[in-house]
Amino acid sequence: MINKINLLINISLFPFQNLSFLGQKKIFAALGYIEEKSEVGKADRQKAQNELRIEIQNEVLRKARPKSMDEINLLMQKFYPMLCSDDEAERSGFRFKDSKNPLAIEKKLYLHYFHILEEFGDALISYRDGDVVFKYWKNDVNQDKKWRFIDFMDQYKGQDKVRFFHAISRFIPLDLIIMLHFIKNGLRNPIQLHEFYQHVNLADAALDDILRRGVAENHIHASAAFNFSILWQTVMNGRIEAGYLQKFLPNHLATSKHNVESYILTARLLRLVMTIYLNEQVYRNHSETCQVEAVVDQHLPFFVWLKNSFEQQDNQTLELLWSLIRDRSCEFAKSEELLSAIERVRIAYIDIGDPEPSDFIFSIFKNHGGIKTYGENIFLHLVISYKQLIQQLPSFDEYFEQFFRTFFIYVSIKNEFYQQVTQPTVMHGLDFFRGYFDRATDGIAKNRDYYKTMLRTLFQNGYLKKVELRISIKNKLQTNKQTLYEILSSYREVLQEDYKVEDDPQVEFPMLGIVYHLIKQPDNSNKDLWQYDQERDHTLKRALHFGDLQEQYIKQVQHLQELRRVIPMATNFIVGLDAASLENNTPVQVFAPVFEEARDSKYDALRIVDPQGNILPRQSLFFTFHAGEDFRHLISGLRRIDEVIRYCKLHAGDRIGHGIALGVDIPEWVRYNPLVIIPRGEYLDNLLWIWGVYSHTASLQTETLVYLERTIDRIAAELFGEVVSAGDLRIPVLYNVYERRFKRRTEEVMKLQQDREDKGDPEDYERTMKLQDKLYAAYHQEATLLKMEKPIYVMTDEIEQIMMSDMQKYLIHKVSVSGIVIEVNPSSNEAIGEIDSVFGNQLFKLQSAGNSALENVLVNVNSDDPMVFNTNVSNELVYMYYGMLQQGMGREAALDWIEKLRKAGMDTSFIRGARSRKQYLHILDMTINALETYASPL
């Protein structure tokens, strides 16, 4: 189903989904019209049609999985019949008969695009209780509506429509579709945009009632807690991080060969010029509402206005615009030329107030400043209102063609950028996701309003009651203190300005917690543990594999605990510790001593005393860990989850981030992964872990044991054959070394160094070393590390599949009885992990209506990175709701289950305590004051 949906979306939106067809020149050529000649011959038209068809096919094959070329061609006939043949163009009114009036054809083409988008809006958008909501019910196609393009919706049930919504919302911004729906349904007064930002509520009325009881967001990375509208507003107003667009690295789906900065600056210029035109010409007499008399016979065509406005005062800008719009060059000017043009236009036309608004739209349309929405929504609402007013008036054909040619260039640029920062489901893996994350998060300028904007973006979800923000720990204590101060101060300002807590201290507002995460990083294999000198810290880098990084993590944790010790009130907001980023970068073994340090009782206490002498309980630090999310082999993902629980001292109430490996359908995974390429050392760790699990169970089959032991013997001999003799490589010894590697590296090596010194003769010591010491030392020697990193092939044969199944069952049971919570992130898990769709989430393996034994696995549902996946925690819960319905569960039972998940999210949050809102605000104020006065060392 999802492949068909992706294919349909790609083809239906191809003319303006990216920069491939910028300016529509290739499309006009296929229609038999080029501006220089007005009309071309039949042979040239057919050639252009063939070239266009090939380019469309190539575009589609990069982003979708069609069954055949015939399927692409049929969908083209459905959505764009006039581009398939002369006869179809003739029948649909797209053949040029009168070369004196070519503009009507261009207008007709743009109206065709708008018609497709309007039908999508009709199928997907509705309103309820003042919210924009998802039209989850089945469409009554061509009964009360005459739809030309999306009659397929007649076949879509609720769950299928959710799939479609999920797919299209990851493909283009929905704001244009929503504004088209607004205007089509008569919502022309911009006040209708008040308190609408980007969110479309997916919940039906019954589910909405449940979610209003409150949801918790327990897994969200602070730098990705914004949304695309915030990022677009930032780049359109030039408030981006220095150098962001110059270092912006598009992914393989990018269609433009141009410099990213050039096309983004072009969009800025076009948006600016179009907004000024709308203000000066279109709405100058009726700025609050859009009336027909405001535009008829009272404004200039767009190109005439450009010429009159810029020819004398700013001919450079006019030439830039002419080249792109009038002449259809499809070439972007140089960045420095565009920046200069933007600045000249701003100085000439915008009265910048003090303070300057977040979007220049509000500086131009000042009467809309009181509307709580994004400037982009105001802009699109004005544009579509203008379209609605003139589209039926033949005397305005020229106006329509000129303005909306410009508008669709702008839309194409915006959609291209959207697809670079919102991740589709075209490739799994955190390394692929990382590019989207960096592109999405590096652009927001980290100025004084950074955290306020981030929090306001999150709080647009009116259901939200608790939110944990994940931020990284820095190496300097002062930096961590300053960041915490900025977050809490911004939070306090938002509560004062938006929730008016000074007037009503008991008003409901979201509670905030901070989870600090350690960033997983790789290390090189150039190691020699005998070079380690405990008196010289810098020798760690060359001596121990991950030794230097482990010590860095421990120091960061000590900084974190120092903050909690010196400012006891901060324990109410510093609530958790995490390890995140690329899972294959850093073994869990590196983190075991780090989390052990964090949980040391020396850092904790039972009570704290506030500055006023009140005695309060001290909140403990909870743990979470990204594991089982991104793995080369399913057993690797399962092993890491178990290692975290066992060696990182996770207790009941602590959490595993993602845990996708727990819910993977093993036969399906094996079908797609019959042969896995994996580092040899990782494969040995997998086998030793399995052996360790089996050693505590009586259910091991003889055939599996023989296979496991023979494979361990073979891999170990390949790795350690030059270190010890093959006969000495006994599995219990190898397993003991595997467990030893979870201890603090410096302490283990110091013991070896002391034994070496006591021996006196280094050569004699190495010759008489204990077998376990020899093997441990090999893990910090370049020769062995290179062998460990060498990729090998592993067949996922029948016995491997049996072991996978046994380990998954073992781990699910262990998680269930231990009280460890699994953080489920449906959209993220689909895009990154081994999940085939948002409805195939691991939740349905961990909690199944037909398997009561699994009901004790605790989960909470979250959004992970809203900017990258265009979602929020409420919609993620809704996706699970529709997934339950698709699994065959009744609606009442599904609602009960969502209530259970909602409550679990609130109950398993690290934000704890039953304080009143007044007490909470008092603690917040005291914490901020303490952070202001606390002078920590650099």
DSSP letters, 306-325, are HHHHHTTT-HHHHHHHIIII
Q: How confident is the model at residue 98 (pLDDT cuts 50, 70, 90)?
A: very low
The DSSP line for 67-104 is S-HHHHHHHHHHH-GGGT-HHHHHHTT-S-S-TT-THH
Query: Model confidence over 803-815: pLDDT tens digits?
Result: 999 999 999 999 9
Residue 535 vs residues 530, 538, 539: alpha-carbon distances, Å: 13, 9, 9
Percent above pLDDT 70 for the chain: 90
Range picked from 430-439, 470-479, 586-595 for highest mean pLDDT: 586-595
The pLDDT mean for the chain works out to 87
Q: What is the pLDDT of residues 676-735, one digit of tens each?
A: 999 999 999 999 999 999 988 767 777 888 999 999 999 999 999 888 877 778 999 999
Residue 13 has pLDDT above 50, yes or no: yes
Q: Is 323 exposed, middle or buried (0-12, 13-18, 19+ CB in 10 A)?
A: middle
Query: Which of 252-261, 317-326, 329-338, 791-800 has the least mean pLDDT?
Result: 252-261
**Rounded-to-integer distance, Cα 503 and Cα 921, Å:** 13
What are φ and ψ of residue 450, in 5° steps? Answer: -55, -55
241, pLDDT greater than 80: yes
Helix %, strand %, coil % of the chain (to 5) = 60, 10, 35
Residue 103 burial (C-beta neighbours within 10 Å; 0-12, 13-18, 19+): middle
Residue 404 CA: distances (Å) to CA of 39, 150, 513: 22, 24, 46
Do β-strands 655-658 and 622-627 pair in parallel, antiparallel, or remain unpaired?
A: parallel
pLDDT of residue 455: 95
Distance separating alpha carbons of residues 253 and 250, to the nearest angstrom: 8
Q: What's the mean pLDDT in 500-517?
A: 92
Under DSSP, the state recorded for 820 is P
The answer for residues whose C-beta is within 8 angstroms of residue 174's C-beta and 6 or more apart is 168, 198, 200
- 872-905 pLDDT, tens digit each: 899 989 888 888 888 788 889 889 989 999 999 9
What pairs with residue 794 in β-bridges? 676
**Two tokens, residue 383:** 């544009």
CA 5 to chain centre: 21
pLDDT interval class at 287 (50, 70, 90): low
- Write down the pLDDT at residue 834: 61
If pLDDT is split at 50, 70 and 90, which confidence band does 633 have?
Answer: very high
Of 428, 415, 435, 440, the closest CA to residue 171 belongs to 415
**Where does residue 214 fall: left (phi above 0), alpha (psi -120 to 50 degrees), or beta otherwise?**
left
- Over range 869-874, report the average pLDDT: 88
607-609/615-617 β-pairing: antiparallel
Where is 422: in which H helix or E strand? Answer: none
pLDDT per residue over 155-212, tens digit each?
776 678 888 898 899 899 999 999 999 999 999 999 999 999 988 999 989 999 999 9
DSSP state string for 907-920: HT-S------HHHH
What pLDDT is stored for residue 938 in this prediction? 46
Instruction: Please give the Cα distance from 427 to 224 (Å, whole number).
Output: 20
pTM confidence score: 0.91
Contact 440, 231 (CB under 8 A): yes
pLDDT at 836: 61
Query: What pLDDT score was predicted for residue 685?
Result: 98
Among 47-51, 100-104, 462-466, 518-522, name the one with the lowest average pLDDT: 100-104
3-class SS at 624? strand
- Residue 489's pLDDT is 96
For residue 603, what pLDDT band results from cuts at 50, 70 and 90? confident
